[in-house]
Amino acid sequence: MSFMGAEMAYEEKSAWIMMLVTVGAYAAYLIIVLGRAEGIPLTDVSYVSALFWTIGVAIVANIVLHMVVAMAAPKDAGKTDQRDREINRFGEYAGQAFVIIGAVAALGMAMAELDHFWIANVIYLAFVLSAILASLAKIIAYCRGFRPS
């Protein structure tokens, strides 16, 4: 199995891109925010710009990598079929759990009047975990097999 190999469907490559970009962007965000936290409380750290920048860069990286993959195998570019759609639905359904957990956690934190820093970050983390779990579920379904039941 190779990342850019012809043995991988376009949508499987897409799931890999989503996972790698999400992990990379969130790791960059953590490095920036924790780097700024030296000597001051975490809640006083300026995180908004880092959050927007990492999301923006992730979106651009996602588009660029999809273009690279499409150029590497133009015949397969954008090709999806029934299996891809079923695996996509399965993955998104799996990932959705974290969005709900994040929303409930943020609701509880808002009611407990916690700092905005924690509320924003728990929502961001929930989106990241949701994207990672969805991508992982899709990748496993492509590699190990998928039988709708």
Partner 1 sequence: MKPTRVTNSIRALRFANGEMTQAELADRIGVTRQTIIAIEHGRYSPSLEMAFQIAQVFGASLDDVFQYPDPHTEK
> Which residues of this chain interact with partner 1, rule CB under 8 A?
7-10, 12, 76, 79-84, 142, 144-148
72: number of Cβ within 10 Å: 14
Query: Taking Cα atoms as reference points, which of 139, 20, 19, 17 lies closest to residue 90?
Result: 139
User: Quick check: 10 and 138 in contact, CB under 8 A?
Assistant: no
Q: Find all residues with CB under 8 Å of 60, minimum gap 6, and list them.
A: none
Smaller CB separation from partner 1, 41 or 147:
147
For the bound state, the minimum distance from the C-beta of residue 83 to partner 1, rounded and expressed in Å, comes to 5
Smaller CB separation from partner 1, 81 or 113:
81
For the bound state, the minimum distance from the C-beta of residue 15 to partner 1, rounded and expressed in Å, comes to 13
Single-letter code of the amino acid located at 52: F
Smaller CB separation from partner 1, 4 or 48:
4
For the bound state, the minimum distance from the C-beta of residue 14 to partner 1, rounded and expressed in Å, comes to 13
